[in-house]
Structure formats: structure tokens, C-alpha cells
Structure 1
Amino acid sequence: MHDHCGVHGASSSSVEFDDQGWPVWPDREDLSAEFVKVLAAAQEGGSTVSECWLTLSRINLGSENSWSGEWIKTAELNEARAELSLQNGNMITARRNWLRATTYFHAAARPPGYANDLLKCAVDGMRRCATNFLNSRVPAGQVLSIPWTDDLSLQAYYLPSAFRGDGPVIVCIGEPGSYKEELIAKYAGHADERGFSLLAVDLLGTQTALPPERLEGRKFEAAMSRILDFLSEKPGVDNTRIAIVADAWNSSLVARAAASDARFAAAVCDAGMWDSHERSFFYRQADGNEQIGWLEEANPTSRSIECPLLVTAGEAGWLLPGALIEFGDRLSSIHRDARLMLFRRAETAAMQGHIDNPTLANEVIFDWLEDRLRPSKGLA
């Protein structure tokens, strides 16, 4: 049992609901999105619906510490259950509770900069429970530090497949400001069921993650090449079947990495859309021409990606559906194996990053990966 983080008391809160039935705080869109994410994690075993709603009922945004404090209390209850189950020899229940505790601690740590006095408690708890979850798996997962520069290593979790022999690996990269712990609940089940090993890498969270200046120029691409070097020497890895998957879809970091190293066997990313979108935005600001469209800009990133490429997007995301469809058409015309999958509001998974239904999007993503990573495909 770990000491409590000093969170006391409960508070009530009022919440509104959008036209899709999701709870929202009009002045805190960041926290509204975080609640959608933690509630949707229940589909993958990363939370329970009842605990999410109970925690929400106690949150009072008028209190600076209420959001983080209430999620920490829920996380600690799950961690205590996990430790009791471990003592009783019930490893499956212990593992399930550690996974939920990881999600709740992650919610307490998000968004960055909110309730700073509790951030360390949340991050420490999140990483402690994630490590216990990894240790309880069969085969056990690993906490890795992958050498990069003379003074810096990439922090990662490796979840090996239970299948014998050399097999495929999915490298999952969080967007700036995210934590690798979130990727475990989101992707581990999909990878494990298909015989994929999973490598979840930290980039721009807090503490052991990278500061933004480390990604200037081509440093991020160099980091991904070091990951490929590391995996190619790791037992149980087929170095011709390593794929890269972006999370959240609000940058082109992963697309640039896939374009810079031909060793990736498949890539699920934005294909450089955000780079083109941002360039177009700055051009419009500079020229005062509202008619300049981001799709009119050349996209050297997508043209440079040689491996099979999947782009997924939501109708209710940050880019207009019509522009996304046009981008997908152009992508298919210049790439031998590229597809854009657009999720409509009527089927869900339509929000930015598919946060409203990650399960639906991940089924499409991992089915596509399974097809591209079969040994018979001979992809390199």
C-alpha cells in the first residue's frame, strides 16, 4: 500500500452536455476532452464507466486541485485493490486494477500545468502502476532506456508478444505533451491479440520525457532511427516487420520519421497533413489571402514515405471533411499503397484523435497493420 498524496474532501460540480451526450465544461475544453478519453478507455479495460462518473460527480472546477485530486483518489483505490489481489495470488485482477489505476493517474496528470502541486504524485503513481502492470504480464514487459545522444536516452515500455519466433513490432509514439503510459491501455490489447510486440515511447511529457528543443530540425527523425537500430538487435524482433503508429494526430512528427527511414514496414500517421496545413495558415496570414488552401501546397513528406501508409481522421476533428477526402484522393494517386479512412459522426470515432471511440479506430488500424505485416507480404 502506498501513502496517500494528501487529497482530502469531495466537491460537487455542475456539468453541461453537448449534442452527442458528452459532458463538457464550456470554459475548460481541455478537461472536457480528458474526460471523454478516460471514459472511452473503459472499452479497453483502462477504466470503468461507473468509476468515471463517480469521480466526475466529485469534481469542482472552482477548486484548483479538485480535478487532479479526485482522479488520484480513484487511482489509489484501484492500486490498493491491485496490491490486495497480488497478496492473494489473483494476478489477473491485480493486472486489471493496475491498468485502470494507470489511466486514472494519467487523467490526474492531464492537462499539463493544471494542479501542479499534485502533478508529481500523479506522474509517479502512473509510472509505478504501469511498471507493475508490465511485470504482471505473461511474458513480462520491460522498462527501457534507449540510447540516443551522449546525454539523453528515450524512455519506453516494451510489451513482447507471447508468440515464439521473430515477429512484428508496433512502435507507438505519443504526441507532444503526452505520456507513454496512456498508450498501454489504448494499444496493448490490440497488439497482443494479433501477435504484435509493442514499443511505447515518451517524447514531450514531463520529467523523463524530452523538452521541445530536442525535436528541432531532424532530431526527432534521428531518434526514430535509433529506435529502429535498437529493435533490429533485440531478440524476438523481425526487423523487416517494424511499423510506426502516431497517436492523437495533431502533428506530422511521425510522418516525417516514416519518410526519413525506409526500414519502416508500415506507417499509420497524418502523412504530413499538419505540416501542409500549418504552412498554408502562415501563408494566408502573410498574404492576407483567405483563398489559399493548404491542399494546394506540395507535401514532400507523403511523397517520401515508401512503406504502406494509412491515415485515419474524424469528421468532427480539426480539419474539414471535404479537405480530408480531397487529401486522401491525392494521396492515393501518388502512393502505391496509401489510404485515408474518414470516420463519420454517425459511427463515432469522429472526434480529433478518435477520442470518442478509440476502439473502433484501432480495430481498423490494427486490421490494416495485420494485413501489411504478414510474412508473406515480404515488406521491408
Structure 2
Amino acid sequence: MKQLLFPNDPPFWYETVRTFGHIAYGGADFGEVVSTSSRIAEGDYESWHDEWLATADRVSGEAGRALAAGHSISARDGFLRASNYYRSAEFYLHGNPPDPRHDHAYHRSVECFEQAAALFTPRIEPVRIPYEDTTLPGYLYRAGTTGGPRPTLIMHNGFDGTAEEMHFFGAMAAVERGYTVLVFDGPGQPGPRHRDGLVFRPDWENVVGPVIDFALTLPEVDADRIGLLGLSMGGMLAPRAAAFEHRLAAVIALDGVYDVSSIVTSSATGDRAEFERRLRAASDPELDAEFDRAMAASPVARWAMNQGMWAMGAGTPRAFGAALLDYRLGDGVAEKIQCPTLVCEAAEDLFFAGQPQQLYDHLTCPKTLLAFTEEEGAGAHCQSGAQRLAFARIYDWLDDTLRVQSPAS
């Protein structure tokens, strides 16, 4: 997709497209996104934060006034947009963990989302899912008020997104089709990272397992028809969970990822085993300098390293690269998946080009590869610019796989 804004900064443009895409399910307004973006200096994390925060504050303030005056629909819509704008304000701040601004913007995003959630019918219910010695934050969406078990979709985000953002990235689309939806943040994702300091772990089945245990206590969940959707890096994490967690009836990798460590290993020259050894070494000043140069030269690398060090709890870019080596579906893991699997692929993926096909080729279960194109406006990572189109195709597959009939209009 042509970069209409931020022509020299692909990450800024992608994050803008991501916010544009959330218009489809109430997460933004076109004019607000354009106006905010026009005030941001290209490549400047400070102005990105300041301008998105200003827009979020303005929109949330108006929503609060609408709520006080009894205009609940206007309030709900405003709080939804403000939640997404606060999420965007926080996005590029993780390179400096002590900076209090990202805690502030994150918590405001959650507060606004929960204010909006309370104004839906049925209400979107915040939940705490038991996990080890703490809980994982999430949301329960009910498709109606009649009760009883329904086909269920468990959903989670990826490397940098929130549970709240999943409202726009598939939760409401599934509810429209009659699904019970359970959204959660796992370790390394914003809720557990901000609140408990939990960092990512590669054995995602030990995260999804407790979430399924919790789901099975809910009367709205059909135990025989539970699907799992993972977004972005979740396109590796969700299949990893499905390889070992056989209570799932279907898994969706949006988009598919086979080897997350390719973010760092793809740039290696020479023997990969030697490069991996250097990543794991106690000291390698030469490789550390290479990472520094890569971050200085590439806005994609700069953001990915900063975000990854924060989410993985790694002290240096090289330590982050070493941590990523465990985030792959090799050594026969992908082949262990038994349930039907949908692998989505974006033609112009900025982060994981070629990875969906790799995952698909390794699957031995019933499988479908669903490709999205630039001509459709759906070529960006996770089809961020074409949410209605994407979820129509994705959920038609899920309906057919779980033998679900869409509710009558």
C-alpha cells in the first residue's frame, strides 16, 4: 500500500494504517487519525506520543461529558476511540522502561475500554483468569442474553498489542456471528508486563491451557467447539499452543509465523549455528556494535529491538535476539498440531514475509492458507487496512470448520 503519510518511515505508516483499520469496529475516526498524524514529525517518538495523547485526552474528555449527560451511546463510542488512541500514544515508549508516560497511557487505555465495555448490551465483562500464582487480564464477550453454550473463540494479540485492541481485531466480528469470545493478555503482553512484570515465554501451551480451563467453567462456552486465534506474533504462539493442547477444535494464525527469530537471524552472514552461538555468548562486543548499527540504520529494527527488550525482559538487543531463538515451530512442533488450522498471509507483510507459507508447508493437520492482496487493500501485516474483508473470510472458514450457522439478521 502506498505510504500516504510518513513516506520515509514504514513503521509509522504501518501503525497509522493499523489505527485506520480499527475504524471498521469503532476504534477510530478518519478525521481524527489524519489530523493527529499531520502533527507528528516523521521518526520522532516524542511527537508521536504527544500528539496521540492529546487526541486521546480530548476524545475521552468528550466521552466523559456525554456519559455525565446521559448520552450512553456517544460515551461508549468516544471511550472506544480514546482507548485505541491511548494505546497508540504508548506504542513507541518502551525503549526507556522507567518512563512513566507509558504506564500512564496504558492504564488510560484500559480505563477507557472498560468504561466503553460497561455500555455494551450485553456488557463486555472484564475477567481475571487464574494463572500460576497470579491472574491474566481478559474480557468475556457474550453473543446474546439467552445464555447456554455457544461456539467459542479464545483470542490473544502478539508482540506489541493489547487485549483491548482485540475488540477491533476480531472480537466484535466474532460476536456478530454468534460466538462467545474470551480475549486475554498473556505473559509479555501489555497487561501482565505492566502489572506483574511477566515477560514472554515460548511454551505458550502453558498459557493457553489455564485459559481453556477457565473457559470451561463458563456456561456460555461449548467445550467441543473452542477455537484459538493468535494475532501477529500470536500467529506462532497460537499454533505452538495447539501443538500440545488438544482441547482446541480449530486454530487461526493471523498471520502465520514459523520462526520469530528470523527477525534477527535473517540478517546473519555465514553459518547460522555460529551466529546463534554468538547471540548466546556472555560477551560479544563486535556483534553488539552490529545491532547498534542496525538500529541506527533501520526504523523497523530500532522499534523491534526496543519493544523486544521490554517484552522479553532482555537487557541488550543481542540478549533479545538470543531469547527469540526459542520462538519457532521447528523440530517437529508444527507437525504435532492435530486440529484444523487456518494460516493467513499478507502480500506486503512488513515483519514476517514468507513465514505463513513456511508454517503451512510444515502442517500435517487439515489446513488452509488464506492469502490477502494489495489489490484488495488487505496486503498489510494482519490485514490491518481491511478488517471487514479479512474477518468475513476468516470467520466463514471458522463457521464451516466448527459447523456454525451465522445468526439471522
TM-score, structure 1 normalization: 0.80
Q: Quote the Cα distance in structure 2 between the aligned partners of 1:196 and 1:346.
A: 30
Partner AA of 2:56 in structure 1: A
Q: Quote the Cα distance in structure 1 between the aligned partners of 2:262 and 2:103.
A: 35
Over 3 Å counting, the alpha-carbon distance change for 1:53 and 1:375 in structure 2 is: closer
Q: Quote the Cα distance in structure 1 between the aligned partners of 2:271 and 2:43.
A: 39
- 2:177 counterpart (167, 176, 194): 194
Q: Which runs of 5+ in 2 are unaligned?
A: 276-328
The 3-state SS of whatever aligns with 1:311 is strand
Show the 5 A alignment for 1:66-215: 66-113=47-94, 116-150=99-133, 152-162=134-144, 164=146, 165-203=148-186, 204-205=189-190, 206-208=193-195, 211-212=198-199, 215=201
Q: Counterpart of 1:258?
A: 242
Q: Counterpart of 1:286?
A: 273
Over 3 Å counting, the alpha-carbon distance change for 1:105 and 1:319 in structure 2 is: closer
Over 3 Å counting, the alpha-carbon distance change for 1:278 and 1:110 in structure 2 is: closer
Q: Quote the Cα distance in structure 2 between the aligned partners of 1:275 and 1:59.
A: 30
Q: CA deviation at 1:22?
A: 3.3
The 3-state SS of whatever aligns with 2:251 is strand
Q: Which runs of 5+ in 1 are unaligned?
A: 1-18, 289-296
Q: Counterpart of 1:274?
A: 259
Q: Counterpart of 1:360?
A: 389
Q: Does 1:245 align with 2:277?
A: no
The 3-state SS of whatever aligns with 2:16 is helix
Q: CA deviation at 1:88?
A: 2.8
Q: Quote the Cα distance in structure 2 between the aligned partners of 1:86 and 1:53.
A: 26
Q: CA deviation at 1:194?
A: 0.5
Partner AA of 2:109 in structure 1: M
Q: Quote the Cα distance in structure 2 between the aligned partners of 1:130 and 1:154.
A: 17
How many residue pairs match? The answer is: 341
Whether the 8 Å contact between 1:99 and 1:185 is mirrored in structure 2 is no
Q: Quote the Cα distance in structure 2 between the aligned partners of 1:271 and 1:67.
A: 29
Q: Counterpart of 1:15?
A: none
Over 3 Å counting, the alpha-carbon distance change for 1:228 and 1:250 in structure 2 is: closer
- 1:38 counterpart (11, 19, 22): 19
Q: Quote the Cα distance in structure 2 between the aligned partners of 1:87 and 1:135.
A: 14
Over 3 Å counting, the alpha-carbon distance change for 1:103 and 1:320 in structure 2 is: closer
The 3-state SS of whatever aligns with 1:23 is coil
Over 3 Å counting, the alpha-carbon distance change for 1:195 and 1:251 in structure 2 is: closer
Whether the 8 Å contact between 1:249 and 1:353 is mirrored in structure 2 is no
Whether the 8 Å contact between 1:108 and 1:122 is mirrored in structure 2 is yes
Over 3 Å counting, the alpha-carbon distance change for 1:46 and 1:272 in structure 2 is: closer
Q: Counterpart of 2:35?
A: 54
Give per-residue Cα distances to partners, 1:275-294, cap 9 Å, x unaligned: 69689858952379xxxxxx
Q: CA deviation at 1:50?
A: 0.4
- 1:65 counterpart (38, 46, 67): 46
Over 3 Å counting, the alpha-carbon distance change for 1:113 and 1:257 in structure 2 is: same
Q: Quote the Cα distance in structure 1 between the aligned partners of 2:261 and 2:86.
A: 35
Whether the 8 Å contact between 1:109 and 1:122 is mirrored in structure 2 is yes
Q: Counterpart of 1:370?
A: 399
Q: Quote the Cα distance in structure 1 between the aligned partners of 2:379 and 2:140.
A: 29
Q: Which has the higher contact order (CA 8 A, sep 6+)?
A: 2
Q: Quote the Cα distance in structure 2 between the aligned partners of 1:64 and 1:21.
A: 18
Over 3 Å counting, the alpha-carbon distance change for 1:375 and 1:358 in structure 2 is: closer
Q: Counterpart of 2:289?
A: none
Whether the 8 Å contact between 2:83 and 2:108 is mirrored in structure 1 is yes
Q: CA deviation at 1:178?
A: 2.1
Whether the 8 Å contact between 2:25 and 2:168 is mirrored in structure 1 is yes
Q: Give me the identity figure in percent.
A: 25
Over 3 Å counting, the alpha-carbon distance change for 1:176 and 1:166 in structure 2 is: same
Partner AA of 1:285 in structure 2: R
The 3-state SS of whatever aligns with 2:144 is coil
Identify which range, 187-196 or 77-86, moves more after superposition.
77-86
Whether the 8 Å contact between 2:233 and 2:257 is mirrored in structure 1 is no
Q: Quote the Cα distance in structure 2 between the aligned partners of 1:130 and 1:110.
A: 17
